Amino acid sequence: MEILEQRIKKDGRVLGKDVLKVDSFLNHQVDPELMQAMGEEFATIFSDEKIDKIVTIESSGIAPAVFASLALHVPVVFARKNKSLTLPENVWTADVYSFTKQTTNHIMIDHRFLSAAENILIVDDFLANGQAVEGLLKIANDANANVVGVGVVIEKTFQKGRQILDERGVRVESLARIKGFENDEVIFL
Ligand code: G4P
Ligand code: NA
Ligand code: NA
């Protein structure tokens, strides 16, 4: 998506060898016009699929997921990261390990908001190692929901998430695909 690539070039900052900081429009401050355009792009890309609901994870997945849900006229549910010691009842759960942060998040979705045979589109901000999406796939599987695809804002093709999802036969569509960083510049695929 051209306007997204332009924005990444203009405002993205490369941190270390594999992290792109985009907190001025996606991960901290949010640009609603860009979000809206991205939501419409997801709706166009997945227009051939029957979608009942969008599913994402708090916190950075919520903005793009909400705009995709608005464009597709379906509800959106975000998995919560469970911070309490006791697990609430009647929730689907998964453990998501973050290689970037070296922490495990316990994510959950209430049974009331994800049911069997629902057709869901997963949306997230980044696809890196694929652990967040794998957690959502596990929850969808436990709930007997049907995953029609995964919509990603920024995919880093040099990390292993894409390969894991391809091997599982999951349809993945990304609005920007980054193949690497050279001299702190972003190289798109
Ligand atoms: P994975 O989900 O693809 O396995 O990614 P990984 O474990 O490597 O990343 C953990 C967290 O870091 C996720 O956010 C993910 O969205 C984010 N992330 C991964 N690569 C990048 C990057 O290059 N830039 C930025 N800005 N974020 C990246 P999270 O822990 O779920 O946190 P939240 O921000 O959604 O609350
Ligand atoms: Na995320
Ligand atoms: Na994030």
Which atom number of ligand 1 is nearest to the Cα of residue 101? 10
- 62-90 pLDDT per residue, tens: 999 999 999 999 999 999 998 887 888 99
Which atom number of ligand 1 is nearest to the Cα of residue 156? 23
Q: List the one residue out of 113, 28, 12, 121 whose CA is nearest residue 66.
A: 121
Please tell me the class of the 2-78+114-188 domain. alpha beta
Domain locations in the chain?
2-78+114-188
Averaged pLDDT, 147-151: 98
Q: How many CB atoms lie within 10 A of CB 5?
A: 17
Whether residue 136 is predicted with pLDDT greater than 90 in this model: the reply is: yes
- Predicted pLDDT at 100: 82
Averaged pLDDT, 146-159: 98
Which atom number of ligand 1 is nearest to the Cα of residue 105? 30
- Predicted pLDDT at 46: 98
> Cα of 66 to ligand 1 centre, how many Å?
18
CB under 5 Å of ion ligand 2: residues: 60-61, 125
* Residue 156 annotated in ligand binding: yes
Pocket test for ligand 1, best of 7, 21, 28, 98 (most atoms within 8 A of CB): 98
Query: Rounded mean pLDDT of the chain?
Result: 97
Percent with pLDDT over 90 in the chain: 95
Can you list the pairs that 164-170 forms with residues at least 24 positions away whose Cβ atoms lie under 8 Å?
Answer: 164/129, 164/130, 164/134, 165/127, 165/130, 165/133, 168/137, 170/133, 170/137
- 1-14 pLDDT per residue, tens: 999 999 999 999 99
- 13-53 pLDDT per residue, tens: 999 999 999 999 999 999 999 999 999 999 999 999 999 99
